[in-house]
Amino acid sequence: MKWYDKAIIYQIYPKSFQDTNDDGIGDLQGIIKRLDYIKNLGVNTIWLNPIFVSPQVDNGYDVSNYFAIDPSIGTTDDFEQLIKEVHKRKLHIILDLPINHTSDQHPWFKDAISNPNSIFKDYYIWDKGIDGHEPNNWGSFFGGSVWSKASENSDNYYFHLFDKKMPDLNWKNVEVQRSMADIAKFWIDKGVDGFRLDAFIHMAKANLSQMSLKEGKYPIDDTFYAKLPEVKQYLSGFVSEVKEQNPDTFLFGEASSADSHQAAEYTRPDEDECDVIVSSNNYGEIYDDDSPVKGFFQPRKFSLDRFKETFVDWESVLADISYPALTWGNHDVSRFVDRLNLPTTDPKLQKSLAMMMFLQRGIPIIYYGEEIGQHGLKYQSVDDFDDQRAVDLIANLCQQKFSDEDILNLLNEQDEMTARGPFQWDDSKYCGFSNVQPWNFAKQSPVDAANEVSDDDSMLSFYQKLLKLKSTPNFSQGNYRLLLTDKNILAYERTLGDEYAIVIINYSKDSVEYKLPTTKDLDVALANQDIDITDQTLKLEPWGCCALVKGDK
């Protein structure tokens, strides 16, 4: 068993965690300052969003130098101190590594653009225009075409799945493959314990002469640039080199659109693949099909039925292969307490959802602030949104005569930037994050860590108890079985040898009774209410939850 088989991950968005030099931007020294808080939460692994040198077109995912720390968040000395302090507390650290693309300010791309004989030309993907138009009609995830001209008078186009300032790498080129492995090895030598492989499912592209059959000027159609067969080949070569450097390196791949079978293909233990796959298909969401807003911003809500179906599938398919990633979200979506249109603001429901997700078989990933019940920022005007997808949506909905208020409410529920606000350390003007206005700031939710630390009934206290329970052998390594229940109840068993546990959630506004499926003597390991069990019948209040374990009697 590897150390990461029992990983409990805490995701930190460095720009928004803690500012120590009063420039409004979080920094590495801020993370060092808060390591004891992280340790006391009960996690054992820290994931940092990109910290490399970047023009910050996409908040660090556009890298211009993979071998240095962006000056806005610190120095190499700061990072080396962070590594030392993390390991001193017996924690692990993993870095976010964008491997599908670079910044257009990366020396490779700058040379490829400026030098006709550049050896870096083939590090990127190029094609000729057709009759003055792009090589094909594929759409970018950030809007518009995947193609941009190398220069105004050129008929040469380069490929970019995301922003035009983020050209895609050509993974067919063995020098690209070698270079990206060398980057990972450099940071392993610095003491890094693993990597999140950003957008790795997009490393391979289909025949560039193909046109999409979907409607629209630049339709998004990942048939042509996601999960193609060559991805496994490129991934395998990269992983084998990294694992040769350090076999204990943890690699979890971001595959936002992957289903359980694709996740299994990318995590097979008998092949050089990822150790865990993170997908956006695991939130138990259902979409409002009647909404005129489609795609990324389409309104959604939580469905217990969908959640059950999802994890029966993932737990079954991955049972003998790898662990599912257990998460309610990350920096690429709004916070789940806003996004999922939950039926109540009762904190008991948030506690129930945390237990529901994280005590399953799998690797928990907690997004910073989630453990205190932090909501997303609430912007006051549509003009406050400047990410490209939001700008495009605003223009589109204005044409459809949506009111500014309706557009603002939709964006505050769904836009990813709302999830990137400063961590709420206390109730001061800037939340204890900084003494100056943070880089991303708007109306905050009325919660903070300082108030919750000393409150035994707080969200933070519940998360600490929950993660302590998660770290026990049965909940970290045991088998998983979902039980048949009424529609408003979720129940699953965890077993490991003679150890037995059952988790029960009441997802409704009414009290319910649940007949326990065992005559074993059970003790309450954790609950968000007082527990009453009579004649094997458990009574749960509205939004109640409990984890019961076999007693010693």
Rounded to whole angstroms, what are the CA distances from 385 to 101, 423, 440?
Answer: 25, 20, 10
Q: How far apart are CA 170 and CA 122, in angstroms?
A: 7
Q: Evaluate the CA torsion angle 86, 465, 281, 346 in order and state its sign.
A: negative
Active site residue 426: no
Rounded to whole angstroms, what are the CA distances from 131 to 48, 128, 140, 216?
Answer: 45, 10, 21, 19
Of 198, 415, 416, 448, which is the active-site residue? 198
For 394-463, the DSSP string reads HHHHHHTT--HHHHHHHHHHH-GGGGGSPP--SSSTTTTT-SS--SS--BPPS--HHHHHT-TTSHHHHH
- The C-alpha angle with vertex 441 and arms to 437 and 443, in degrees rounded to 5, equals 120
Q: Which long-range contacts (CB under 8 A, 24 or more apart) does 219-227 make?
A: 219/137, 219/138, 219/139, 220/138, 220/139, 220/140, 220/141, 220/295, 221/138, 221/139, 222/257, 224/138, 225/138, 225/146, 225/161, 226/201, 226/202, 226/257, 227/201, 227/255, 227/257, 227/258, 227/262
Rounded to whole angstroms, what are the CA distances from 132 to 57, 103, 156, 220, 267?
Answer: 28, 26, 10, 21, 43
For 299-349, the DSSP string reads -EEE-HHHHHHHHHHHHHHTTTT-PPEEES--TTS--HHHHT--S---HHH
Q: Evaluate the CA torsion angle 170, 159, 263, 210 in order and state its sign.
A: negative
Q: How far apart are CA 390 and CA 394, in angstroms?
A: 6
Under 8 Å between Cβ of 333 and 416: yes
Cα-Cα-Cα-Cα dihedral of 411, 412, 418, 421, to 10°?
150
HSE (side-chain half, CA atoms, 13 Å) at 116: 1
Active site residue 19: no
Of 19, 254, 413, 493, which is the active-site residue? 254
Strand partners, 365: 9, 327
Q: How far apart are CA 335 and CA 120, in angstroms?
A: 40
Q: How far apart are CA 514 and CA 289, in angstroms?
A: 33
Check residue 12 and report its DSSP letter: E
Under 8 Å between Cβ of 339 and 329: yes
Active site residues: 198, 254
